[in-house]
Amino acid sequence: MSMNTDTLSKYFPEVSQLRDVQQPALDNVVANKNTLCLMSTGSGKSLIYQLAGLAKGKTTIVFSPLVALMGQQVQTLNEKGISAISLSEYSGKDTYNKLRAMKFSEEPQFLFLTPERVAFDGYIEYVLKQNKEKIGLVVVDEAHCVSQWGYTFRPSYAGVPNFLDRVFGSGSWPTILALTATLNPKDQDEITSLFRIAKSDIVISNDLLRTNLDLKVEKLTDETAKLVRLEELLEQNKNEKIIVYVHRKTSSKYGTKALDKSFREKGYFCMPFDGDMTSAERMSVVTAFKNGDINIVFATSAFGMGIDIKDIRIVIHYLMPESIEQYYQEVGRAGRDGAQAYGYLLYTQKNAGIRKDLINGSIPDEDNLVETFDSRQPNGDNVIARINPWGDFSEENLDAVIWSYFERTGVIDILARGTDRTSYFKPARGKTSAEFQKYEGVSRTGLIMGLSKKLNCSITSIMNDLYSAYHKGDLSLEKTPEKDLFYSISKVFDENIKQQILTMVKERSDFRLNSLEQLVSFIETDKSPQVAIKESLGL
């Protein structure tokens, strides 16, 4: 099926025709083939899933890594008259009410979610399961995050296939479209395996290497020389939009906030961007940068990912990334308008050691495994325990990574995703709920685990009753429910399991360290960045 020109002209009049591999990728998806598409940053990957979602005429689920990115994509679609929402735009009870109000059958629409949302929020899973026949496409945007983040940072990315099994059934997924700018051959194999994509359905642009990027590596003697060079570059290009990838938040001298403060005091218009900031704060940085209120951002790696800011002229790597793929992802955020852009990697030999320490610091060891397991065991005579991931896990918390390995190896069994008590719900005005009434008065506290024991029923059935009554409008929210995971220990955490996890961890860490060594090697041997990128991507 070829692209519908009426749809293109109606919603995207600024696009005269599809380019590069947009057409074959779109044809593949509309023909219900799971597809992996690799196109360079800024070349129009989003248009593929937008047109495919409209062509399918159902709801499209888009997994995206960043709140700021989702907000910008939602705004773009809404301005074109296309229904799109991101649940991350809402907080508290508004999230539940917005999801309950969604009409899945009336028109094509786009629902943007983070992997963490679907990993921990039982109501989202309930609603999508109830409407699974009305979902026609699942998009994994920035798919490299699954491999590059999903094992050592934000591990919910690697859990997306499991979520799809829970909602749709293992053999009944909607069509899958995975999109990214760079994937090395090993990561390609992993993505295609996880998302059941045939090798024949990998669509790769012939123009992955951007010709408008002038990439330079500058070797400097020490941190002082590097800081001097950074200021020279910022001064020489003070009217251009510049991203400075610092990659560290907490360094008192060279972290995102420290460098931002230093250069603001020198009169530069800049802001920091890192994971310690709230979603609203990060979104304000994106908006200010896009509008030109500031022209420099000192950032960690997430900034700029997929965000439609076309006139970034310069990307400076103040601290080297951990792989050639990450380097190209980040430097590719410059020059998306096709005009000349520049990338500067400022390198000292000490940087390789700093980056290696950062990698090693994100890798759990045997003591971490034992400590996390011991702290998560059910108490007393309970066989079921619960955690609140939003409170217990942070983006860079080793507990979250270890927890994901426990899930993969079957050490723990997730029994339900829900809330810890019924008191978050109450009968809606003028309504009664048979589902809710059978739990009232059984327990003074309304704790779900207590109700499960007293009534000899599963936690899953209790949560389904509550979600069903709320979804029908028979219940309203007293306050926003917590997002808890209820689980049991399903395997003995013995030496065999421990070694199995440590082997998995070592395989992943070895790959990351080897990727770093490849990057250092190309720098030390003065190989051109373009050649190094081409070799790494297998082009």
Q: How far apart are CA 527 and CA 352, in angstroms?
A: 17
| Assigned domain for 509 exists | no
The answer to whether 419 and 518 have CB atoms below 8 angstroms apart is: no
Q: At 306, is the pLDDT very low, low, confident or very high (cuts 50, 70, 90)? A: low
Mean pLDDT throughout 115-133? 93
Residues 293, 180: one domain? no
In a shared domain, residues 59 and 180: yes
The secondary element (H helix, E strand) that includes residue 262 is: helix 256-265
Residue of 244, 216, 241 whose CA lies nearest to 230: 244
Q: What is the average per-residue pLDDT within 236-250?
A: 90
Note whether 245 and 340 are same-domain residues. yes
Band of pLDDT at residue 142, cut at 50, 70 and 90: confident
Same domain, 57 and 12: yes
Q: Do residue 281 and residue 174 come from a single domain? A: no
Quote the crossing angle between the two packed helices 459-472 and 448-455, to the nearest 10°: 110
pTM score of the predicted model = 0.88
Q: Is 510 exposed, middle or buried (0-12, 13-18, 19+ CB in 10 A)?
A: exposed
User: 315 — phi, psi (to 5°)?
Assistant: -120, 125
497 part of a folded domain: no
Residue 134's SS3 state is helix
For 133, 159, 178, the CA distances from 128, given in Å and listed in that order, are 9, 16, 20
Per-residue confidence band for 394, with pLDDT thresholds at 50, 70 and 90: low
The pLDDT tens digits for 398-431 are 888 899 899 999 999 999 999 999 999 999 998 8
Residues 13 and 132 grouped into a single domain:
yes
For residue 84, being part of any structural domain is answered with yes
Q: Which domain holds residue 121?
A: 5-204
Q: CATH number of the domain at 335, please.
A: 3.40.50.300
- What's the pLDDT tens digit per position in 156-178? 888 899 999 999 999 899 999 99
**In the predicted model, what is the mean pLDDT of residues 265-273?**
95
Q: Which residues contact 206 (CB under 8 A, 6 or more apart)?
A: 20, 21
Measured over all CA atoms, what is the biggest interatomic distance in the chain, rounded to whole angstroms?
A: 75
The residue ranges of DSSP E strands in 43-108, in sequence order, are 59-63, 83-86
Q: Output the pLDDT for position 340.
A: 95
Residue 505 belongs to a domain: no
% of the chain surpassing 90 pLDDT: 56
Q: What pLDDT is attached to residue 425?
A: 93
Considering the domain architecture, whether residues 346 and 394 belong to the same structural domain is answered as no
Is residue 510 assigned to a domain?
no
Query: Residue 306 region, left (φ>0) first, then alpha (ψ -120 to 50), else beta?
Result: left
Domain end call among 302, 331, 359:
359
Closest CA to 108 of 49, 55, 167: 55
N-term to C-term CA, the chain: 29
Query: How many structural domains comprise the chain?
Result: 3
Q: Does 312 share its domain with 393?
A: no
Please report whether residue 339 resides in a domain: yes
Residue 456 — very low, low, confident or very high, per pLDDT cuts 50/70/90?
Answer: very high
Closest C-alpha among 122, 111, 110, 195 to residue 160: 195
Q: Are residues 424 and 466 in the same domain?
A: yes
* Residue 523 in domain: no
Measured from the Cβ of residue 434, the count of other Cβ atoms closer than 10 Å reads 9
Query: Mean pLDDT across the stretch 221-243?
Result: 95
Residues 102 and 141 in one domain: yes
Q: Are residues 32 and 73 in the same domain?
A: yes
Structural domain contains residue 431: yes
Say whether both 181 and 35 belong to one domain.
yes
- In our burial notation (b when 16+ CB lie closer than 10 A, e otherwise), range 100-109 reads eebebeeebb
